[in-house]
Amino acid sequence: MEDWKFYMPTKIRFGWGRFQEIRQVVDELKGKKIFLVTSKHFAKKYGILDKLSDFLKGLTLVVFAEVEENPTIETVDRGASQCKLNQCDLVIGLGGGSALDAGKAMAMLQRNPGSIREYLDQERTCQVKGLPYAAIPTTSGTGSEVTPFTVITHPTKKAKPAIAPPENFPDIALVDPELTLSMPFEVTASTGLDALCQAVEGFWSTQGNPLTRSLAFQGIKLAMENLESACVKKDRESVINMALASHLTGIEMSNIGNTSIHPLSYPITIDYGVAHGFACAIFLPAVVRFNARLIESQFRDLLRVLNLSNIEAFADKVDSFMEKLRAPRRLSKLGVKQEDIPGIAKRGVGRSTAWNPRPMTEEDIIQICKTIL
Ligand code: NAD
């Protein structure tokens, strides 16, 4: 593709120990009264919140530590009201994709009226940029710190819709891989597999361009070479490389979205309570095989770098990789029954399914699900 465009307004600071630059970030965004959005328990438990308070001494810090995994409309609206009530002038999201997305939505709602539900249901659209927003990831998976995507769970619809107005790109992404060290094995594995899925989807997407494909290529390579070590050894090099894999795929995805795998994950997360990355990855080997014929030549360089002979070997490698990471590989193990599959297929089709290299129908999804039941 020779004709393409790319947009990335987020300023990036990436590096081990850079969390201590938070005061500079706040000053750059002219924050005086800060609304901190983070996950339940974790920031307090690991002492990150204490460090943050220390770095921001002299400024007012209002803490909203109530974000659950896959944040809901109710949580976002509650946080947005508290931010307004406290008249904060800057929002910081600190945590995994759940906290970062919730923070994005809360910042947006400071200058756009109504509930986040109205935006998710397309009754309103974002008209103006929200409060300045700094995103600090503590997982290596979603890349949400560099995307406009704001994924919020809609309980009455049993869905995870997203909005992505360009105004929702964070102003600053502060990526300090050291913050991810406290992730337990399972969270490192699940979030890292999310990064791998994003990278693979970005690499084969029909929406791709030379820049997104370069980022996705690096993302796949980094994740395949470093995730196991980041889970088991937690050595500095692999931890940094996983933060980079997540970050690069976030930049790539910010412009072209995903393809067929991410929408399939949503019913699995909502109905069976499966972590986002695991819910994506369970489909990865089967969708690689489904796409095989159409991606073989595109994957040639990647296969060579990974020392693999063909696409089937890539799918096998991902499969054995998932086994080592103790990721679920059969839908039945999650509680999915044969009779649930048509419903999953119906709700697992999203806008981005159309960007899969091989057209994918509901019937195809049913067949894919049967192979991994
Ligand atoms: P998460 O944010 O839900 O976090 C998973 C768990 O890990 C939580 O319990 C959290 O408290 C904990 N945790 C986070 N960091 C930790 C750390 N350093 N140490 C110990 N525990 C830690 O998981 P996630 O996979 O990062 O985010 C998933 C969410 O992001 C989903 O809602 C998904 O749809 C969304 N998402 C958003 C984008 C985007 O671009 N906006 C992209 C992909 C996914």
How far does Cα 212 stand from its chain's mean position? 16
pLDDT at res. 370: 97
41 confidence band (pLDDT: 50, 70, 90): confident
Candidate from 146, 276, 352 with most ligand 1 atoms within 8 A of CB, to mutate: 276
Model confidence pLDDT, tens digit, residues 71-119: 999 999 999 999 999 999 999 999 999 999 999 999 999 999 999 999 9
> What ligand 1 atom has the least distance to the C-alpha of 253?
40
Q: Pick the closest to residue 27 from 2, 47, 56, 50 (CA basis).
A: 56
Q: What's the sign of the alpha-carbon dihedral 65, 71, 74, 79?
A: positive
Q: Please say if the pLDDT value at position 298 is more than 90.
A: yes
Tell me, in angstroms, the distance from the centre of ligand 1 to residue 141's CA: 8
Q: Average pLDDT, whole number, for the chain?
A: 96
pLDDT at 2 over 80: no
Pairwise CA distance, residues 17 & 10, whole Å: 20
Residue 42's pLDDT is: 81
Contact partners, residue 214, CB within 8 Å, separation at least 6:
none
Closest C-alpha to ligand 1, atom 22: 183
- Asked whether the predicted pLDDT for residue 43 surpasses 90, the reply is no
Residue 66 Cβ inside 6 Å of ligand 1? The answer reads no
What digits encode the pLDDT tens for the residues 350-367?
889 999 999 999 999 999
Q: What angle do CA 269, 270, 274 make, to 5 degrees?
A: 25
Helices 97-109 and 73-85 meet at what angle, rounded to 10? 50
pLDDT in tens, 200-209: 999 999 999 9
> Could you tell me the two tokens for 255?
């412009």
pLDDT at 1 over 70: no
Percentage of the chain surpassing pLDDT 90?
Answer: 97
pLDDT at 310 over 90: yes
- Of all protein residues, whose CA lies closest to atom 39 belonging to ligand 1? 144
Query: pLDDT at position 168, please?
Result: 98
Paired residues of 35 in beta bridges: 62, 91
pTM of the entire predicted model: 0.96
Question: Residue 44: its pLDDT value, please?
Answer: 82
Residue nearest to atom 32 of ligand 1 (CA): 70
Q: Give the residue-averaged pLDDT of 246-267.
A: 97
pLDDT, one tens digit per residue, over 145-157 is: 999 999 999 999 9
How far is the C-alpha of 252 from the C-alpha of 219, rounded, in Å?
Answer: 9
Please name the residue whose Cα sits nearest to atom 23 of ligand 1: 96
Residue 283 pLDDT grade (very low, low, confident, very high; cuts 50, 70, 90)? very high
